[in-house]
Amino acid sequence: MTKTKLFFSFVVIFASIPRTHTADTVSANQIIRYNETIISPLETFELGFFNLGNSTNYYVGIWYKKISTRTVVWVANRNTPLTSTSGELTLTCQGILILRDATRGNVLWSSENSSTTSVRNNPIGQLLDTGNFIIYEEGGGINKEDPIWQSFNFMTDTLLPGMKLGRNLVTGIDRHFTSWKSPDDPAFGEFSYGIETRGYPQLILLEDQDIKFRAGPWNGLRFTGVSNLKPNRFYNFTFVVNHKEIYYQYNLIDTSVITRLVLQPNGRVERLVWVDSKQEWKLYLARQNDLCDQYAMCGPFGSCDIVKSPVCECLKGFEPKSPDQWKITDCSQGCRHTIPLDCNPREGFNKYSNLKLPDTRGSWYNQTMTLLECEQMCKRNCSCTAYTTLNISGTGSGCLLWFASELDSKRSSAGIRGQVIVPIAVVVLVLLVAICLFCHFKRKKQQQQGTQSSDEDLELPLIGLSTILKATKSFSINNKLGEGGFGPVYKGVLENGKEIAVKRLAKTSTQGLHEFKNEVISISRLQHRNLVKLLGCCVEGAEVMLIYEYMPNKGLDSFIFDKTPMELVDWPARYNIIIGIARGLLYLHQDSRLRIIHRDLKVSNILLDKDMNPKISDFGTARAFGGTQTEAKTNKVVGTYGYLAPEYAGNGIFSIQSDVYSFGVVVLEIVSGLKNREFVHKEHCNNLTGHAWVLHNEDRSLELVAKCLGESSNVSQVLRSIHVALLCVQRHP
């Protein structure tokens, strides 16, 4: 009886609360209804009811207030949607947030299981500008720093700046991503991504219970399986391991940037950045990039190298466990020792560099040991199979050990598996280092020589930094066009209205001048309608930039791959592009005064002008040759996997034939709309070039043509293009 009375008195109080509610807090017993929201103090985030698309399922969630596309970053009742707009969100006097269906009266969701909690002293719910909704006691013992409850502890599919991904070892809270079921259903999906704490902590993506991808353990600088996670201007990141907590976190350096890390319903982990000028989210980094990122692709003691065909190989001293399976490219069984180990003291270790560290579940670590102590410890224990430095930052510290016993007892899950060679990251690092030294060198030289200009200073106009800052709005993220191997590219407009593209060479570089000098010299001497024109360069302070003519249509890659049919170019345009590239290449190889080898010819390096004429760009890796020299050897292979000729990737021998090989790949990609590097045929595991060859032999080449080209294609032109492409990629240079 008393309960009923209490209920009625509440109803009277509720009715007097105004309908629209725009505060950032909610106090005890206050009701938030369908049309009302809570907005954070600086209006960054908003909490309220929402539905998706035409669905009549309603949810309570948090989304960005200032973004035109509704982007939900947190959902309360993921699995228990409301089916009408009659939901009511209340904060009880125990400090528990409750979502009720007012027509039916049932509770759909609550922030805590109430039975154990007692009445709080004036609980308050508040939405912060970080996107965190917290519940604390006003003037009570439980303050904002250590709230009763916070939404950040119950992550959905989004990691916001400042949020911790990982475990609190004291409270036992495990914050990990769980994907949505589909883009219009926030229910728990199949994928989860979080920190595995068995052995040395590592990031693991699961589909149900199966491991799909390992970002790997942290090596002091980054996750060893995420080579593209690098220091940048937008956000910094850190990984903390101590006896209280283990977590990954990123924070904004430039707070005007809006970025989030998301586990998509399809299981991809993506970092997205909001681009205000286009009013859309743009992909900044993806964590899974190719075949080798698949968990245990090559099995235990196998290594995966995307350049090679087949991609799997056994480590030195190992052989395929089941050679027959291995031959038909099923490498999942992995490798075993060629000669079984007998724990003889004379046995030593092989050293491997540039590999992703193996699965660390069942590993052992110590954060203070040195590498020498680590080796000795591993040698003393017969079941120890491998050791490494734990933390490579500074002079290196810590010890990580792997054991064979784990491998044998849990063969299918633990041990040394799915190693990935990541030489690209290393090459890029070396190149970046190269450019910076040059800028210092060059600046010094300018100061010393005054106005005197050497051959290398060229007939190129030097453009002032202030002009460029003005043109690119101080390198606004809205002006960013993309990211090349050497740094970001921005669009700019000069005061006279001329549009330019500014390639800002990364600052972190410290080694020789070679690549930058090459690009400037090669390009400034070349004049051809199928080559991008260099307008000038800018060397000031630590900044080194190249200024090109702006190509409104961007790279060819944005026209031939995975787009809606409307955006794709038809066959006559593609044929024109193929011929244009061939002309540009012929000029580079034969008709220009210097013989130039591009070395990184690929679809994204072909830019299109407003009439869709192709222009070859990005000469950062080009090599100039004397008139008679035709071949050279390099010990630093540069370029892009998928386009590298085998003799170049394998032995570092490059010649005009290596460009010709890349050209062949480009032509096949243009014809088929498929990416050589990503394509794997379902039955015979061939890449695109292999697949094209099989089709050609069976006289079925036309099946390669992109479906969207349909009637626009001219059969004889298509067949000729494929034929020429196959001649370009054949085995013998």
Ligand X SMILES: *[C@@H]1O[C@H](CO)[C@@H](O)[C@H](O)[C@H]1NC(C)=O
Query: Which residues are annotated as catalytic?
Result: 600
Q: Which stretch binds ligand X (CB under 6 A): 89-97, 273-281, 367-375, 592-600?
A: 367-375
| Angle 204-205-206 from CA coordinates, rounded to 5° | 115
Q: Check binding of 51 to ligand X (CB under 6 A).
A: no
Closest CA to 519 of 420, 621, 597: 621
**Cβ-proximal residues to 646 (8 Å cutoff; 6+ apart), any chain:** 661, 731
* 398-to-203, 238, 366, 638 alpha-carbon distances in Å: 19, 17, 6, 33
Judged by DSSP in three states, 516 sits in: helix
Q: Whose Cβ is closer to ligand X: residue 19's or residue 682's? A: 19
Q: Which is nearer to ligand X, 236 or 409 (CB)?
A: 236
Instruction: Report if residue 629 touches ligand X, rule: CB under 6 A.
Output: no
Q: Which x/- pattern over 577-606 shows residues binding ligand X (rule: CB under 6 A)? A: ------------------------------
Q: Any residues with CB less than 8 A from the CB of 312 and at least 6 apart, and which?
A: 297, 298, 299, 302, 303, 304, 326, 329, 331
Using the minimum distance from each CB to ligand X, give the nearer residue, 220 or 423: 220
Report the residue from 381, 389, 576, 714 that binds ligand X according to the rule CB under 6 A.
381
Q: Comparing C-alpha atoms, which of 301, 370, 359 is closest to residue 335?
A: 301
Contact pick of 40, 57, 360, 391 for ligand X (by CB under 6 A): 391
- For residues 484 and 408, the answer to whether their CB atoms sit within 8 Å is no
Q: Does 393 bind ligand X (CB under 6 A)?
A: yes
CA angle, residues 245, 286, 436, in degrees to nearest 5: 90
Nearer to ligand X, 73 or 384 (CB): 384
112 binds ligand X (CB under 6 A): yes
User: Which of these segments, 39-47, 238-246, 414-422, 715-723, binds ligand X (CB under 6 A)?
Assistant: 238-246
Nearer to ligand X, 34 or 64 (CB): 34
Q: Which of 364, 387, 575, 643 binds ligand X (CB under 6 A)?
A: 364
Q: Is 54 in the site for ligand X (CB under 6 A)?
A: yes
Which backbone phi and psi does 80 adopt, to 5 degrees? -130, 75
Q: Minimal distance in Å, beta carbon 313 to ligand X?
A: 29
Tokens of 243: 């006896």
Is residue 593 exposed (0-12), middle (13-18) or buried (19+ Cβ within 10 Å)?
exposed
Q: Quick one: CA dihedral 56, 36, 158, 487, positive or negative?
A: positive
Kindly tell me which of 1 and 566 has the beta carbon lying closer to ligand X.
Answer: 566
Question: Footprint of ligand X on residues 17-36 (CB under 6 A)?
Answer: 34-35
Question: DSSP secondary-structure letter at 477?
Answer: G
- Closest C-alpha to 706, from 693, 692, 690: 692
- Decide: is 113 part of the binding site for ligand X (CB under 6 A): yes
In whole angstroms, how close is the CB of 468 to ligand X at the nearest point?
A: 25
Query: Is 85 among the residues that bind ligand X (CB under 6 A)?
Result: yes
Cα distance between the two ends of the chain: 93
Between residue 246 and residue 305, which ones bind ligand X under the rule CB under 6 A?
A: 251, 253
Please say which residue, 195 or 297, places its beta carbon nearer to ligand X.
195
Give 245-274 as a DSSP string.
EEEEEEEESSTT--EEEEE-TTS-EEEEEE
The answer to whether residue 338 forms part of the interface with ligand X (CB under 6 A) is no
2 forms part of the interface with ligand X (CB under 6 A): no
Q: Does 368 bind ligand X (CB under 6 A)?
A: yes
Residue 130, token pair as written in the block: 């970080």
| 367 touching ligand X, by CB under 6 A | yes
Binders of ligand X in range 442-461 (CB under 6 A): none
Taking the least distance from each CB to ligand X, the nearer of 375 and 618 is 375
Q: How far apart are CA 321 and CA 227, in angstroms?
A: 29
Map residues 210-229 to x or -, x wherever contact with ligand X holds by CB under 6 A. --------x-x---------
Note the residues at the interface with ligand X (CB under 6 A): 34-35, 53-54, 85, 112-113, 218, 220, 236, 238-239, 241, 251, 253, 364, 366-369, 373, 381, 383, 391, 393-394, 397, 403
